[in-house]
Amino acid sequence: MKLLGLLFALGGFVLAVAGLMISQTNTGRGVIACAGIAISLIGSVGIMNSAYLKNAIWKTNMQLLLAALGLSGLLFFSPSLRADEPAAAPTAEAAAPAAPAAAAPAPAAAMTAVAPLTAKDLAGITGPKTDDIAAKGDPGAEMTGTANDISMADSKAGISLSDLVNQVGQNKIAINFVWTLVTGFLVMFMQAGFAIVETGLIRAKNANHTMMMNFMVYGLGLFAYWVCGFAIQMGGCAPIANLGGVFPLNAEHVVTLFGKPWALFGKTGFFLSGATYDVGVMVLFLFQMVFMDTTTTIVTGAAAERWKYSAFCVSTIGLGALIYPLFGNWAWGCGWLSQLGVNFGLGHGYCDFAGSGVVHAVGGITALACSMIIGPRIGKFNKNGTPNAIPGHNLAMVLLGCFILAFGWFGFNPGSTLGASGNGCLRIGSVAVNTMLAGCTGSFGALLYMWIRYGKPDASMAGNGLLAGLVAITSPSGFVNPLASCVIGWVAGILVCLSVEFFDRVAKVDDPVGAISVHGVNGLWGVLSVGLFADGRSNYGGSWNGVPGSVTGLFYGDAGQLVAQLLGIATLVGLIFSLSFVWNWLVDVVVGQRSNAKWELQGLDIPEMGAYCYPDMFQPAQENS
């Protein structure tokens, strides 16, 4: 059954990609991609999962399935989608008209003509005398940051035009470096948020074990990413203008298939050695590394309370070294998904601004694969298959962790511009507000759902709703307006509750912290929402993924973008799930993923880690006296 399920999952992905060759229209490609996604889901969540088969959702929830199919049909046959047909590969003539409309006008040219600066204008410019500053200080900040601070090639000749232009260029890159580094530091702090959210949601007897997984996932993931993950992901991504070009990252492995180039993985940057010992590359590495670490830490939540520590170490290495970087390359490293626009005329190719798909869906889908392999905790399900609630031990930790994560998300999304100066980077304000709004509507979407359905406003689900909203807005945050952000967050808040119920009651997959629902399901929703809500008003230097113009979703007239997003989803649920499952199955065969049943009942703190997180709670009173 496992093998058959895997074949279905992979087959769905192959079908979705083959749709690019089978059909030349957006409708055809979209329908085939949807069919591929459905086949992959039947394989992964259905055939591979015996509990799911017994419940046979397609029999008990026929109305729901029909409604979903009807909605999909409506979307695909909507007027805006049909107006775009056929979706042939763009020709030079077709692409050309879009460019002037979208290209960022040079600020000076857009307003008034300005006389060009000449060397003569600079002659005689001097800064304040240093003796004055030494004598009086500069409390009013009037003498600090002046012409004195401009680096000159020849100090005797004074400031030249060349000095000035170089200084402006360096200042722009400096602003972008500082922005990217500081937002990267914020994302790094999200590890603390994940650690205490997950630990708060599990039982006290496993607290040390869960904290230690979250703690070491940072070191293990970072190490794997330094050795080869970064090179595979970003080894061929140059140029990135906001970071000064990062030109050493210039080698991508490309194969030609059906007459089109398919970029598969990068080939420079292993161990950050050779020419990649470069300041711009270092900034990019730090920022991308903390994103990868977010992915690896998602899995620890879903597999908590029964994951053998040595298996966790090996599994994390595989995710950080290969699985995450592969999808990261396809989406962000100039890989084949990002080039769907250039090669097949599908909008701007697969667009994932800050990683609903790359970071969260990859983490959530790997968490699903791990949970299915490891199995549920002892006592989670009764003999008749009904689930038991296993409450976490500290709700205060959970909600504090959610706040820390929400704070870190202001690094996650706005930081993904990789700069604050030039190429439309001033949109960081909009990205930050979108992030804030979606988190807000996500939390009260979940809160109200639980309140109305169960009569109480559930704290842990309100927290998960906040995270679900943030996960969902991660991908579209750079492309949508505030109203769409609210809708995306609201849907995510409700979706996370429905998804938790589905995995608990129907699929019988034990996920102690709801990671599969928060990150996997809402990651996919975030990816999809770009194809629906992107409003075509963003402008990051006049093009995105090599396609001129702004990213525009179905509701604003570009059906091709939705098809590109669907292909991204098909890749995630088909190929990435299969890779994760096979890798973790191998770890299960060799290392053994599940801890001993006796250890699990006792709690993993002592058998695995050798110390309780809360010794006062468990050790007999005489030992403490």
Partner 1 sequence: MGTTSTSGWAVFWFLTGFTVLGTAAIGGGAISAIGGAAVIGLSCYLFRQARIKEDV
Look at the block and give the residue holding tokens 């695909």.
76
Cβ at position 66, least distance to partner 1 in Å: 46
Helix (H) or strand (E) holding 263: strand 260-266
From 73-81, 134-142, 268-276, 571-579, give the range in contact with partner 1 by CB under 8 A. Answer: 268-276
CA dihedral 416, 418, 422, 428 (to 10 degrees): 30
From 156-164, 198-206, 266-274, 412-420, give the range in contact with partner 1 by CB under 8 A. Answer: 266-274
Under the criterion CB under 8 A, does residue 612 sit at the interface with partner 1? no
Cα dist from 98 to 92, 423, 444, 542, 543, whole Å: 11, 17, 40, 10, 10
Number of amino acids touching partner 1 (CB under 8 A): 29
**Residue 80 or 596 with smaller CB distance to partner 1:** 596
Of 607, 612, 614, 618, the one binding partner 1 (CB under 8 A) is 607
494 within 8 A of 446, measured Cβ to Cβ: yes
In whole angstroms, give the CA distance from residue 359 to residue 364: 9
Of 228, 246, 358, 492, the one binding partner 1 (CB under 8 A) is 228
φ, ψ (nearest 5 deg) of residue 257: -135, 130
**Residue 75 or 587 with smaller CB distance to partner 1:** 587
φ, ψ (nearest 5 deg) of residue 544: -145, 130
Look at the block and give the residue holding tokens 């991504």.
237
407 within 8 A of 413, measured Cβ to Cβ: no
Cβ at position 312, least distance to partner 1 in Å: 10
**Residue 309 or 451 with smaller CB distance to partner 1:** 309
From 185-193, 264-272, 374-382, 469-477, give the range in contact with partner 1 by CB under 8 A. Answer: 264-272
Query: Going residue by residue from 304 to 343, which x/- string records binding to partner 1, judged by CB under 8 A?
Result: ----xxx--xx--x---x----------------------
Under the criterion CB under 8 A, does residue 14 sit at the interface with partner 1? no
Strands 547-548 and 252-257, by their bridges, are unpaired
Cα dist from 420 to 173, 199, 349, whole Å: 9, 35, 24
Under the criterion CB under 8 A, does residue 224 sit at the interface with partner 1? yes
**Residue 189 or 270 with smaller CB distance to partner 1:** 270
Under the criterion CB under 8 A, does residue 606 sit at the interface with partner 1? yes
Site for partner 1 in 557-596 (CB under 8 A): 590-592, 594-596
Of 50, 126, 273, 388, the one binding partner 1 (CB under 8 A) is 273
In whole angstroms, give the CA distance from residue 143 to residue 155: 19
Under the criterion CB under 8 A, does residue 252 sit at the interface with partner 1? no
Supply angle C-alpha 409, 229, 185, rounded to 5.
Answer: 30
Under the criterion CB under 8 A, does residue 599 sit at the interface with partner 1? yes
Of 263, 362, 608, 613, the one binding partner 1 (CB under 8 A) is 608
Under the criterion CB under 8 A, does residue 227 sit at the interface with partner 1? yes
Under the criterion CB under 8 A, does residue 292 sit at the interface with partner 1? no
Plot region of 85 (φ>0 → left; ψ -120 to 50 → alpha; else → beta) = beta
530 within 8 A of 326, measured Cβ to Cβ: no
Cβ at position 245, least distance to partner 1 in Å: 22
From 42-50, 91-99, 219-227, 385-393, give the range in contact with partner 1 by CB under 8 A. Answer: 219-227
Under the criterion CB under 8 A, does residue 274 sit at the interface with partner 1? yes
Omega within 30 of 0 (cis) for the link into 239:
yes
Q: Which residues contact 86 (CB under 8 A, 6 or more apart)?
A: 24, 25, 26
Supply angle C-alpha 456, 519, 473, rounded to 5.
Answer: 90
Cβ at position 338, least distance to partner 1 in Å: 23
CA dihedral 198, 200, 202, 205 (to 10 degrees): 120
Cβ at position 606, least distance to partner 1 in Å: 7
Under the criterion CB under 8 A, does residue 59 sit at the interface with partner 1? no
Under the criterion CB under 8 A, does residue 231 sit at the interface with partner 1? yes
Under the criterion CB under 8 A, does residue 253 sit at the interface with partner 1? no
Of 247, 258, 271, 454, the one binding partner 1 (CB under 8 A) is 271
Cβ at position 271, least distance to partner 1 in Å: 6
Cβ at position 287, least distance to partner 1 in Å: 21
Look at the block and give the residue holding tokens 């591979």.
48
- 13 burial type by CB count under 10 A (0-12 exposed, 13-18 middle, 19+ buried): buried
**Residue 328 or 574 with smaller CB distance to partner 1:** 328
User: Bridge-partner residues for 547, per DSSP?
Assistant: 544
Under the criterion CB under 8 A, does residue 619 sit at the interface with partner 1? no
Cα dist from 559 to 38, 67, 102, 529, 567, whole Å: 20, 21, 18, 12, 13
Residues that bind partner 1 (CB under 8 A): 223-224, 227-228, 231, 267, 270-271, 273-274, 308-310, 313-314, 317, 321, 590-592, 594-596, 598-599, 606-608, 610
